[in-house]
Amino acid sequence: AALLSSSFRSSPRPSKPLKVVIAGAGLAGLSTAKYLADAGHKPVLLEARDVLGGKISLVNTKWVDQKSQLRPRYFLKPRADDVPWPFILDFKLDSHTHLNDVQWLHGKMTMEIGTKQACIYSFIDLSIRCNFGYFIAALTESLFCLLQVGAYPNVQNLFGELGINDRLQWKEHSMIFAMPNKPGEFSRFDFPEVLPAPLNESEIRIKSFGNKDGDGALGFEGVETSKTCRKMYRKEGILAILKNNEMLTWPEKVKFAIGLLPAMVGGQAYVEAQDGLSVKEWMKKQGVPDRVTTEVFIAMSKALNFINPDELSMQCILIALNRFLQEKHGSKMAFLDGNPPERLCMPIVDHIQSLGGEVKLNSRIKKIELNDDGTVKSFLLNSGDVIEGDVYVFATPVDILKLLLPDNWKEIPYFKKLEKLVGVPVINVHIWFDRKLKNTYDHLLFSRSPLLSVYADMSVTCKEYYDPKQSMLELVFAPAEEWISRSDSEIIDATMGELARLFPDEISTDQSKAKIVKYHVVKTPRSVYKTIPDCEPCRPLQRSPIEGFYLAGDYTKQKYLASMEGAVLSGKLCTQAIVQDYELLVARGQRELTEATIG
């Protein structure tokens, strides 16, 4: 990861820096812009929303509550007092509490009156549901503090480059599962930090080699782990599994280990070959007992892709297992210490701007306009502005790209195969309780309940939300297909039902125990692409067949799953492709100039 990053900084300065127009300031777009700026080019990053970060900034609205300890940053002022229900209105956002933050926004929102809570429905068709009658506190502060896995070399390298390593709150090296059969109890997989001699770390030697395109099969990118080292990591992961006796019996563990053997010896080639099978099918084929899937892989599938093992591609699990088992800190997790737009995205923007790049919010691309030869002429924005560049990058979610694809590109196989990649629905639920819950850890927890996936008590895990007196649970509600169109209160009731089963001493559905102070429900109808079998061949490379047009995004081809790491790496690979194509791109620009002059 570090090698690839430094290759951009140390590459010869371009005689004519390219103006690269990038759509979408999620992690992929930010990463593309950052590394292009490092390579001496001029990125212009255009973000549709008024907030940076895309999926890592699941936007929340905060309902105005004078007694609340929350500090709303922006207020929505309706232009008309008397509005029908439901309605569309133009709105303006301006700063209320922080004069420094004054921002003006124009747009359209669909609003429903009468619900107590506020929530943004989606990034795609930005609509908002909220409590009306007061000014409505809106957005930008995300409560979703993402966790990050230790096997994320590119994300870690990025934090290092930005000098913000101290913003990562590392947790114990464990995976912790709730025990639905033993309410209130948890079962842990503890990964030993120090292995007994001769397995201890001093035995581990790391051999470096130049893997500049990030396609290495296993181990850290840019760093190939030696055979000894791989064995250690495997032992560390396997020890964690073997030491846990609460979830799996010994015969189940043995059968599972035997089933996994081909993956361990077959490496990446084997992993990729399993893309055609769902997790459930693979387990059956390998003779792994059903209980292993029920006990462990439902939780893992939901955590990785928000779907169940009968839908998820086994490749997805094997990629994750490889990281967990093969890399020393593969399963180590960290929480960002506060809201991602401010704590992670802003430093990237500062970096881009310090090198002459631009980042513009509220700049939604409406159309990709083409030249006669089918290459990109410009991006047309919703505002009517037309943005031209030497090179164009689309770093939006795949669903948006498909909506905006020009007609005469649609039949090109590179774009046509994108049809198979479709964002999966997911719901985030935030609940503030009136008391501190005892049954929580300073960690991410796997709920292992039918409706929920992972969750965390943010009042314990994340600095920005520390509270010694009241818990705030952030929960991922998945699979969400059946729930995405239901009301917030139905979702909260269902969530409370699940929590009551898991923690009967502390939570009950009638709230006679812990009481809800407030809640948010954030629905994302299209999040990361649904990793069902046979998706892998449909993931596009960053360089498209259209000269001067590139893609970045977690769904594009890179060795990680649709994740933060995947998004950051995709931005680097996109930058790498542009840097490699530099001569061609400059020649293309000159050709266009000549044609325009003659014309």
String of contacts with ligand FAD for each residue 367-396, x by CB under 6 A: ----------------------------xx
CA–CA separation, 73 and 503 (whole Å): 35
Half-sphere exposure of residue 521, counting CA atoms within 13 Å on the CB side? 27
String of contacts with ligand FAD for each residue 278-317, x by CB under 6 A: ----------------------------------------
User: Are the CB atoms for 296 and 317 separated by under 8 Å?
Assistant: no
CB atoms within 10 A of CB 501: 16
The CB-of-476 to ligand FAD minimum distance in angstroms stands at 6
| Beta-ladder partners of 432 | 472, 518
Binding flag, residue 491, ligand FAD (CB under 6 A): no
The CB-of-154 to ligand FAD minimum distance in angstroms stands at 11
String of contacts with ligand FAD for each residue 578-597, x by CB under 6 A: --------------------
Kindly report the three-state secondary structure assignment for every residue of 160-181: HHHCCHHHEEECCCEEEEECCC
- The residue within the footprint of ligand FAD, chosen from 24, 219, 357, 525 (CB under 6 A), is 24
The CB-of-257 to ligand FAD minimum distance in angstroms stands at 27
Q: What's the residue count for the chain?
A: 599
Report, in angstroms and rounded to the nearest whole number, the Rg of the chain calculated over CA atoms. Answer: 24
- The residue within the footprint of ligand FAD, chosen from 549, 554, 558, 576 (CB under 6 A), is 554
CB proximity list for 468: less than 8 A, separation 6 or greater: 436, 459
CA–CA separation, 217 and 230 (whole Å): 12
Binding flag, residue 528, ligand FAD (CB under 6 A): yes
Distance of CA 215 to the CA centre of its chain: 20
For ligand FAD, which is the closer residue by CB, 286 or 363?
363
Binding flag, residue 401, ligand FAD (CB under 6 A): no
Point out the residue whose Cβ comes nearest to ligand FAD: 26
String of contacts with ligand FAD for each residue 223-242, x by CB under 6 A: --------------------
Alpha carbon separation from 6 to 38, 161, 222, 542, 581 (Å, rounded): 9, 10, 12, 20, 18
Residue 219 tokens, joined: 């181990």
- Could you tell me how many residues of this chain bind ligand FAD (CB under 6 A)? 38
Residue 332 tokens, joined: 């180590």
- The residue within the footprint of ligand FAD, chosen from 456, 567, 573, 579 (CB under 6 A), is 567
Of 11-19, 142-150, 274-282, 484-492, the window that binds ligand FAD (rule: CB under 6 A) is 142-150
Binding flag, residue 364, ligand FAD (CB under 6 A): yes
Binding flag, residue 55, ligand FAD (CB under 6 A): yes
The 3-state DSSP class for residue 16 equals coil
Residue 29 tokens, joined: 């777009």
Residue 202 tokens, joined: 């001093």
User: Are the CB atoms for 436 and 469 separated by under 8 Å?
Assistant: yes
Of 283-291, 345-353, 493-501, 562-570, the window that binds ligand FAD (rule: CB under 6 A) is 562-570
For residue 203, report the phi and psi dihedrals to the nearest 5 degrees: -80, -15
Binding site for ligand FAD (CB under 6 A): 23-29, 46-49, 54-56, 123, 146-148, 364-365, 395-397, 400, 426, 428, 476, 524, 527-528, 553-554, 562-567
